[in-house]
Structures are given as C-alpha cells and as structure tokens.
Amino acid sequence: MSENKHYIWGFAITVASAILLGFYPSIARVLYIDGIDFVAMILVVTAVRFLVMLVSGIIAFRKKHGSESLEIKSVMSVGISTFVSSCSIFVGLQYLEAPVMMIVFFSYPIFLTLFNQYIKKEHVPSFIWLTLVLVFIGLCFVVLGGVSLGKVNYIGLLWAGIAVVASVFRGYLLGVRVHVNKDDPSIFGAQFTFISLLCCLVLYAVKGATFPSDFENWSLLILAGLVLGIGGTLGIVWGTRFLGAVRFNLLLNVEPVAGTVIAALFINEVLSPTQYMGVAIVVSCIVFYQWAELKQRSGNKT
C-alpha cells in the first residue's frame, strides 16, 4: 500500500474512532446517575473490548497461519497502561463533566510528542513548545471556567492527569510495536486487552461491583464496550499502524469536539462560554500542530 493510501486509511479510521469515542463519557455519566459504579463499568467495557479484539485477532492470526510472535514485556506494559488509563477516565467522570474530562485527557498527544522526541534524543522544534504553551492556556480556560461555575472538582482533574500519563506511555509503546516493528494490530490488540481484562478481574475480586439491574443500563454498558472496542482499541491499533503514534493521537483530538457536542445534545451538559473558548484554543492548537508537522516533513523530503 502506498504512503498516500496509508494516510487516507489512517485518517478515515482516526476520525471514525474519534466520533465513536465521543459517546462513552456521556454513557458513563448516565450510568453513574443510575448508581452503577466504576468497577462494573470498567469490567464489562473491557470484557466487550477484549471480545471485539479477540475476534479480529483470530481472523488475522488465521491469515498469518500462526506466524505472529508474542512479546510478553510489551504486551504486559501496554495492557497495564491501558487498564490504568481506562480506570482513571471512568473514575474521573464521577467528578468532572464529560467535555471537561475529555478535553483535559486529550491534551496527552502533545505530551506524547514531547516524550517521543525526548526518548529519541531529538531536538524539539519551536512549534511543539508553542503548541504546549497554548494547550496549557486553553486547558486553564476550561478548568477556570468550570471553577467559576462551581463545576470543577480537583480530584477529577488528578484522575485526568493520571490518565494522561498512562496514555503517553501506552501510545509510545503501541507506536513501537505496530508502526515501527510492524506487529499485526489486531493480534497485538487482542493480547494487550486480555492483560487489561485480567487487571479488571483482580480489581473486581478486591473491591466488588454494583452491576445494572435493568435491561436499559446493561444495554448502555455493552454499548460503551462496543464503542471502546471498535473505536478505542481496534481503531487505535490500526490507526497507529497506518499513521504512527504521534500523528494518530493528534488527529484523535477530534474526540473532545464530538464528545462536547454529544454531551450537550444527549445529557444536557453545557459548558460556559469561557470553557468553550478553552476547547476552541486546544483544538486550534492541534490543527496548528498538524499543519506545522506536515510542513516540516515536506521540507525534510525536498
């Protein structure tokens, strides 16, 4: 497949994943209102994610005639970091409105870029530093706008920060495995989601869980799992395969916009004008970064 086709497929997968991922924060907020706890959510959602990846992985494995290798250390690292990221998001959604949680969380691709540059011992271009500063300003607008309305809980922000750190670590390792080393995304996805599911079962054994008692909430919970399985795992591994970790995660920042619109339409979580200004700044930064990165790559090729 040519580089242009890789980019087109990667772009389409990423945008579709971002729109799908916009639904699950609102679903989680509704489930919390109905008394479902985060352990039940993370366990069921991860189980559904694993089933989605298992089917995809088996199909890919059969096509490869069992030739795919197993890197235990990488699988464990990505699986555990995925578990930590998912748990932190679901716990954070107890305290923060869905749009606020996701705009803070989706600042992580910028930090992933910085981490990637640091690991490779490369010079960090000035446009990355500029983007980081502007993202920080945008996040301040989002947070301070919520504080003025009495809607921002600092415990929620702490959990969002933990999710950012875990996702930077996961994004880097995932990029190495499926983009650099060319591991099959579906097979690797099935492997690391299995580790995440084991972590969820340990959490359930320790804390227990409050599961839904009616069909409607079970349906929402399974829908969240399908959204995260297709958009959040299948989409991530294949998008990363086609675009690389940095490009994929930057384009995935369509999700906060989708999540903000979905939260406003379906659960009436409307932000203040100051917060919308912050969302606009952060999203504009992502667009600017993407343009600057592509311009720099084009300059390097000529």
pTM of the model: 0.77
Phi-psi region of 275 (alpha: psi -120 to 50; beta: other; left: phi over 0): alpha
The helix or strand, by DSSP H or E, that contains position 258, with its residue range, turns out to be helix 254-266
- Condensed to tens digits (0 to 9), the pLDDT of residues 174-194 reads 877 766 667 777 788 888 999
**How is the chain split into domains, by residue range?**
3-121+151-269
Task: For residues 98 and 258, give the distance between their C-alpha atoms in angstroms, rounded to a whole number.
Answer: 11
pLDDT digits (tens, 9 = 90+) for 217-252: 899 888 888 887 777 677 777 777 777 766 776 677
Identify the burial level of 10 via C-beta atoms within 10 angstroms of its C-beta, where 0-12 means exposed, 13-18 middle and 19 or more buried.
buried
Using the 8-state DSSP alphabet, how is residue 207 labeled?
Answer: H
- Measured CA to CA, the distance from residue 139 to residue 282 in angstroms comes to 7
Look at residue 9 in the predicted model and tell me its pLDDT. Answer: 80
Instruction: State the average pLDDT over residues 133-157.
Output: 71
Give dist(CA 72, CA 28) in Å, integer: 32
Smallest Cα–Cα separation from 101: which of 169, 152, 144, 171?
152
Can you tell me which residue has the tokens 């993407």?
290
Burial state string for 264-280 with b = 16 or more CB within 10 A and e = fewer than 16: eeebebebbebbbebbe
